[in-house]
Amino acid sequence: MYPGNYARTQPDKPAAIRPSTGETLSYRALDERSNRLAQLLFAAGLRPGDHVALYSDNNLAFFDVTWACMRSGLYLTAVNRYLTAPEAHYIVDNCDAKALIVAGNLAATEELGRLATRCVVKLAVGQPVAGFDDYEAAIAAHPAEPLANERVGSFMLYSSGTTGKPKGIRRDLPDVSPVGGNPMLQNRVELAGFDTETIYLCPAPMYHGAPLGYTAAVIQAGGTVVLMDKFDAEKALEYIDRYQITHSQWVPTMFIRLLKLPDEVKARYDISSLRYALHAAAPCPIAVKRAMIDWWGPIIEEYYSSTESAGLAMISSAEWLAHPGSVGRAKGLPFHICDEEGNELPPGEPGLIYGEVTPGKKFAYYKDDEKTASVAHPSHADWIAVGDIGYLDEEGYLYLTDRKAFMIVSGGVNIYPQQIEDVLALHPKVSDVAVIGVPNPDLGEEVKAVVEAAAGVVPSAELAEEIKEFVRERLGRQLTPRTVDFVDELPRLPTGKLYKAALREKYWGSADTPKSLAERM
């Protein structure tokens, strides 16, 4: 199903609500607005297979643009709103966007527009921006009827770029009508059990693949999305209570901030309507997840996958309590754990995680054949590794150890920062933490913890020693950070991902991620 169907069966029902402004987008309005934008793009010469770039904060126009592309056979590339104009332009230019739609309130939009000389359509939502046409006026000039030959569109999203330049991940478009639903979205509908009664809270940035995909799936199922401008722990609870949220999606840093709310704040809101809380994007510390299950009940589901769709694992609360720390068992094609030469490793031994992709549905990194070839297994072209390290147990449950790029080699010993970060996640005086390797003349690298202290806590040498002792008691001397540095704020995106390359720049002298991005976070 798609908005055109629901515009007939439930025209006045909210497809999306933005609580911060009180705005509501009905299914009738979504159908009309997405049709008008689709007509505009077609009139400008865009045809199936062409690309649209969207550089925006969380606002309801995201849904217009998404569904205009989904019913026009176009690729939509949502661009990280925290990027500078040159960083964003790299993606807009690399994806060959013919249309650029921006939120007028973002500071970098005017410069981005000047750089994006190849875009034949430039529209600004909200505030006027030099060089862009007004979004509302532009779409109002086009008819609200569907295109004569609607085709299914898709997302072409970019990797986060936390360890290098972002890479576009492209799949071929199916040559089918969108009237029966988008096949790409239907898998999410079925996995989460979305239907017309679903009320879904989105606390995450829409430029990221999971929020973008799951909110689109909710609308494909005829439900309602409640869109937060940005994550705020107490407001999330307030919205669950106010809107009787049934489904939601989170990342572990959000869980940590929810758990650190005062008990009286947690007790203030009724969350009994929640029946499905999904999380992914980063490994969740065992203590954090156990505490969330104790609080919310056995409604928390976890999945592990990648933008490349190299395998899918899922785990329920009940399974996780029996296999704490696991991200689940493969749904469909299996995972493989291999050493550096591609040899499969036995259960319990960590190595590079390879997920199988369905033959005939293989992705490609856009304009980068070398990178596409580099992630494939040396002997199995359909096995893809995206850089995660982990292991399988005897029952086939997958456990994540860390990212390959983040591994610290100290005195010939492999140390996985995630293990140390998990221990410190719930330290009462730690708001956030990143563990990295820094140069050591004897060992090659040594372990450093970079800590954002909790509100009201003053960083000190005594606190640094307390943090080291906290780790030493739980993990032993070898994994204890040799040094602890304090920062006002870590470069973590709302998606939960850390820009560790920016942290490493201070100690190693260079980074793949521009320092300016870390400074803005």
Q: What is the pLDDT of residues 276-318, one digit of tens each?
A: 999 986 778 888 899 999 999 999 999 988 878 788 899 999 9
* pLDDT attached to residue 509: 65
- As a whole number of angstroms, the distance between CA 115 and CA 124 comes to 15
Q: Please, which residues have CB within 8 angstroms of residue 272's CB and are 6 or more apart in sequence?
A: none
Q: What are phi and psi of 447, to 5 degrees?
A: -90, 130
pLDDT 10s digits, 96-132: 999 999 999 999 999 999 999 999 999 999 999 999 9
Question: What tokens appear for 115 in the block?
Answer: 């750089």
Residue 392 C-alpha from the chain's centroid: 24
Q: What span, in angstroms and rounded, lies between the C-alpha atoms of 284 and 252?
A: 5
Of 25-39, 397-411, 499-513, the range with the lowest mean pLDDT is 499-513
240-276 per-position pLDDT tens digit: 999 999 999 998 889 988 998 999 999 999 999 999 9
Parts of the chain belonging to CATH 3.40.50.980? 3-11+21-191
pLDDT given for residue 135 in this prediction: 98
Q: What is the CATH number of domain 407-490?
A: 3.30.300.30
DSSP state letter for 72: B
CB 403 within 8 A of CB 415: no
Structure confidence by residue, pLDDT tens digits, 461-498: 999 999 999 999 988 888 899 999 999 988 876 666 77
Q: What is the mean pLDDT of the segment spanning 326-352?
A: 93
The string of pLDDT tens digits covering residues 415-441 is 878 888 888 888 889 998 988 888 887
Question: In the predicted model, is pLDDT for residue 68 greater than 50?
Answer: yes
The segment(s) of the chain belonging to CATH 3.30.300.30 are 407-490
Give me 188's structure tokens.
């999410």
Architecture of the domain spanning 3-11+21-191:
3-Layer(aba) Sandwich (3.40)
AA identity, residue 262: P
**pLDDT tens, residue by residue, 363-420:** 788 888 888 888 889 999 889 888 888 999 999 999 988 776 677 877 666 787 888 8
Q: What is the identity of the amino acid at 438?
A: V
Sign of CA dihedral 204, 208, 213, 219: positive
User: For position 513, what pLDDT does the model report?
Assistant: 37
CA distance 496 to 252: 7
Per residue in 196-226, is it b (16+ CB within 10 Å) or e — as a string? eebbbbbbbbbbbbbbbbbbbbbbbbbbbbb
From the CA atom positions of the chain, what is the Rg in Å? 23
Q: What is the pLDDT of residue 327?
A: 93
Q: Which long-range contacts (CB under 8 A, 24 or more apart) does 439-446 make?
A: 439/507, 439/508, 440/410, 440/482, 442/411, 443/410, 443/411, 444/409, 444/410, 444/411, 444/412, 445/408, 445/409, 445/410, 446/408, 446/410, 446/482, 446/483
Q: Report the relative pairing of strands 300-304 and 408-410 from DSSP bridges.
A: unpaired
Mean of the per-residue pLDDT values of the chain? 90
Look up the pTM and report it: 0.84
Confidence of residue 139 (pLDDT cuts 50, 70, 90): very high
Residue 161 has pLDDT above 60, yes or no: no
Output the pLDDT for position 494: 61
